[in-house]
């Protein structure tokens, strides 16, 4: 048996985002016991999933654990990546493939959210916290963000945690911001729940500036990015995919949706 791990990033046209993703995935490799470790991307960036898989096979892999680097459970994880895996797997039927879960709802990412809020000055006071996800038509994205918001509430019981989204599902963060009232000078913390930002961060900053015309204290936290707790959460996903206890992560083809508890 020769075990490989294939790390799958989303991909980006922005070189800085590409470089950060590659650097992060490379930083995970020394923590993983596997004969072969390769990086690939779903779209926009080379190498592709097919190319990454081929490299693993050429290096002698008999087992490949494929782990998506995605914060939330959505169509990329459920459909787009499995379709690409299935295409290349048909050419190498002898190779056993396991497929991991996105990071999803996880205590480590909850700790990352709390750390970003504390970096912005939170010290346990009454506050309103907007947890902003990217959004998707997939209901599991909403489920994940609301689940993380529940976990943040359990750690910060004096805070009102308001999950919301940039696009594609409700509530939209702009609407939530507009509805906030000047409530006894209660501070507002905005947490972008994103691995990468770019123009999205500029949009959030602009909306925050408008909100500051009505609200005394609005603070935009750093986006979650590759915080050490995010790395810990991702490493959990990598390890469980390699171990494949009770065959829970066996790749099931194009319709695969990893959801073991």
What domains lie within the chain, and their CATH numbers? 3-103+227-247 (3.40.50.1400), 107-220 (3.40.50)
The alpha carbon of residue 165 and the mean position of all alpha carbons in its chain are separated, in whole angstroms, by 14
Q: What is the largest CA-CA distance in the chain?
A: 65
Q: Which residues pair with 36 in a beta bridge?
A: 4
pLDDT tens across the length of the chain (261 residues): 999 999 999 998 888 889 999 999 999 999 999 999 999 999 999 999 999 999 999 999 999 999 999 999 889 999 999 999 999 999 999 999 999 999 999 999 999 999 999 999 999 999 999 999 999 999 999 999 999 999 999 999 999 999 999 999 999 999 999 999 877 689 999 999 999 876 788 899 999 999 999 998 999 999 999 999 999 999 999 999 999 999 999 998 776 654 443
- pTM check: above 0.85: yes
The alpha carbon of residue 178 and the mean position of all alpha carbons in its chain are separated, in whole angstroms, by 27
Return the HEC string of the chain.
Answer: CCEEEEEEECCCCCHHHHHHHHHHHHHHHHHCCCCEEEEEECCCCCCEHHHHHHHHHHCCCCEEEEEECCCCCCHHHHHHHHHHHHHHHCCCCCCEEEECCCCCCCHHHHHHHHHHHHHCCCCCCCEEEEEEECCCCCHHHHHHHHHHHHHHHHHCCCEEEEEEECCCCCCEHHHHHHHCCCCCCCCEEEEECCCCCCHHHHHHHHHHHHHCCCCCCEEECCCCCCCHHHHHHHHHHHHHHHHCHHHCCECCCCCCCCCCC
């Amino acid at each position: 048996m020769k075990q490989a791990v294939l790390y799958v990033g989303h991909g980006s046209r922005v070189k800085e985002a590409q470089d950060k993703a590659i650097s992060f995935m490379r930083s995970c490799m020394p923590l993983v016991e596997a004969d072969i470790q390769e990086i690939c991307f779903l779209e926009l960036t080379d190498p592709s999933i097919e190319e990454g898989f081929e490299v693993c096979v050429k290096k002698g892999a008999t087992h490949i654990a494929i782990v998506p680097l995605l914060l939330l459970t959505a169509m990329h994880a459920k459909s787009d990546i499995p379709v690409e895996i299935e295409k290349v797997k048909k050419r190498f039927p002898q190779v056993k493939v396991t497929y991991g879960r996105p990071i999803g709802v996880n205590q480590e990412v909850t700790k990352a959210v709390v750390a970003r809020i504390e970096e912005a000055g939170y010290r346990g006071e009454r506050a309103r916290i907007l947890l902003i996800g990217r959004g998707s038509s997939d209901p599991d994205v909403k489920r994940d963000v609301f689940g993380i918001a529940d976990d943040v509430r359990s750690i910060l019981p004096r805070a009102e945690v308001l999950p919301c989204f940039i696009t594609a599902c409700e509530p939209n963060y702009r609407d939530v911001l507009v509805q906030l009232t000047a409530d006894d000078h209660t501070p507002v913390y905005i947490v972008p729940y994103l691995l990468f930002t770019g123009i999205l961060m500029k949009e959030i900053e602009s909306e925050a500036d408008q909100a500051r015309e009505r609200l005394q204290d609005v603070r935009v936290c750093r986006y979650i990015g590759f915080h050490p707790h995010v790395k810990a959460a991702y490493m959990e996903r990598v390890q469980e995919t390699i171990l494949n206890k009770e065959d829970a992560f066996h790749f099931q083809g194009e319709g695969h949706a990893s959801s073991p508890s």
